[in-house]
Structures are given as structure tokens and as C-alpha cells.
């Protein structure tokens, strides 16, 4: 065991936790896609995503516990805190969107919700790959490429939201407009937070490469 291992006995713990959090985010996003594509058994499907959100909260708590008890960390404490918070925000908005779909009592999803869910899932898949890359940062360019792709997907989500709202306001059902607009915006916010995660990862790759 080298000096670094003696000084940082929990060095790998942060990376393990981040990778678990990123994997949970991707799984929740995949379940979101499944829900929007097949809007049946909504209560049960929403509950499964809620359980993932709770698991994610426990991991976030573990990250902060490790941060408060580790003298020397593999990344700057601020970087660890920002990454944990941003990953948690993504999961919160995935869960929040499904909560709104359920409690608002909408009868069906639409193409815009499906497109946004797919963009969230693609973003979380890119982030999972990028998170794995920060363990050793052997290829910072690879991490940066994943982050650039997440930024591109977020821009696409902005376009989907704009078209969704435009189509929505062609209808005359005020209650439906309020419900659907809130769900659209919640889904789009999940992609915004994916971009926040990407920005943190890009900064880490630059600082530690």
C-alpha cells in the first residue's frame, strides 16, 4: 500500500457512489421513457421511479457523509458537492415529472413528453459514461465529448419544449394547458440539470487532467 492509499483510504468511495448515482439516474430515465410510451399502470410505474429517487437520496447522503469525514479527497470538496447536488437534481426532476403525470390525472402522454423523456434518457447515458471517466481521467477528451453531447441534447429539449407549448396553446382546454405545460417544463428542467452535471464533469476533467 502506497502513501496515497494510506492518506486517502476512502479515495475510491466517492467514485463508486457517483457511478451508482449516475446508474440510478439512467435507470429512472429509462423507466420514464417506458411510462410515457405506455401510459398504463401509472401508479405502479410512478412508484418504481419514486423508489429509485429514494435510493438516489441515500447515495447523495452517503456522499456528503464521506465528504464530511474524509480529510483528503480525490477531488476538490466543492467539486464533489456540486456533482452530488447536480446528479440529485436530475433524479428529483425525473421523479417530479412522473409525480405530476400521476397526480394531475392526465389520461395519456403525447409525442412531446415521449421525446423529452428520450432526451433525458440519452443524456443520463452520456453522463454515466462521463462519470466513469473521472475515476482516472485517462482520456479527458472522451469526458468532454460526452459533455458536449449532453449540451446538444439539452438544446434539442429546448426546441421540443417550444414546439410543445406552441401546440398546447392551439387548444382551448385551460386546465389541460396548465397541467401539460407544467409537465413539459418539468421534463425540460431535467435536461437542464443534466447539462449542469456535464458542466461540472467538464470542469473536473480540465482541472485534473
Average pLDDT across the chain, whole number: 93
41 three-class SS: coil
Residue 135 DSSP class: T
Spatial distance between the Cα atoms of 192 and 198, rounded to a whole number of angstroms: 10
Report the range of poorest mean pLDDT among 4-8, 31-35, 52-56: 4-8
CA distances from residue 109 to 39, 53, 122, 132, 193 in whole angstroms, order as listed: 7, 21, 19, 33, 22
The per-residue pLDDT for range 52-90, each reduced to its tens digit, is 999 999 999 999 999 988 878 888 999 999 999 999 999
Residue of 194, 191, 28, 187 lying closest to 110 (CA atoms) = 187
Query: pLDDT higher for 8 or 177?
Result: 177
Report the range of poorest mean pLDDT among 2-6, 116-120, 140-144, 171-175: 2-6
For residue 95, the model assigns a pLDDT of 98
For residue 11, the model assigns a pLDDT of 62
pLDDT at 146 over 60: yes
The per-residue pLDDT for range 118-140, each reduced to its tens digit, is 999 999 999 999 999 998 888 89
For residue 5, the model assigns a pLDDT of 45
Query: pLDDT higher for 81 or 6?
Result: 81
- DSSP states of 50-102 as a string? HHHHHHHHHHHHHHHHHHHH-SS-SS-HHHHHHHHHHHHHHHHHHHHHHHHHH
Contacts of 162 (CB under 8 A, 6+ apart): none
For residue 2, the model assigns a pLDDT of 43
Q: What is the pTM of this model?
A: 0.93
Contact 188, 88 (CB under 8 A): no
Spatial distance between the Cα atoms of 34 and 117, rounded to a whole number of angstroms: 9
For residue 18, the model assigns a pLDDT of 97
Amino acid at each position: 500500500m502506497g502513501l496515497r492509499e494510506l492518506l486517502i483510504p476512502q479515495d475510491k468511495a466517492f467514485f463508486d457512489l457517483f457511478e451508482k448515482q449516475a446508474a440510478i439516474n439512467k435507470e429512472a430515465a429509462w423507466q420514464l421513457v417506458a411510462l410515457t410510451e405506455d401510459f398504463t399502470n401509472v401508479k405502479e410505474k410512478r412508484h418504481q421511479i419514486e423508489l429509485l429517487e429514494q435510493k438516489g437520496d441515500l447515495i447523495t447522503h452517503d456522499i456528503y457523509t464521506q465528504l464530511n469525514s474524509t480529510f483528503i479527497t480525490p477531488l476538490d470538496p466543492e467539486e464533489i458537492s456540486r456533482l452530488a447536488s447536480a446528479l440529485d437534481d436530475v433524479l428529483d426532476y425525473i421523479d417530479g415529472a412522473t409525480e405530476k403525470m400521476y397526480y394531475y390525472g392526465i389520461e395519456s402522454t403525447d409525442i412531446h413528453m415521449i421525446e423529452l423523456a428520450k432526451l433525458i434518457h440519452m443524456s443520463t447515458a452520456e453522463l454515466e459514461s462521463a462519470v466513469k471517466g473521472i475515476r482516472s481521467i485517462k482520456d479527458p477528451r472522451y469526458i468532454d465529448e460526452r459533455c458536449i453531447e449532453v449540451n446538444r441534447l439539452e438544446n434539442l429539449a429546448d426546441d421540443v419544449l417550444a414546439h410543445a407549448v406552441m401546440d398546447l396553446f392551439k387548444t382551448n382546454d385551460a386546465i389541460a394547458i396548465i397541467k401539460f405545460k407544467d409537465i413539459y417544463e418539468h421534463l425540460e428542467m431535467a435536461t437542464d440539470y443534466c447539462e449542469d452535471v456535464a458542466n461540472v464533469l467538464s470542469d473536473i476533467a480540465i482541472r485534473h487532467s
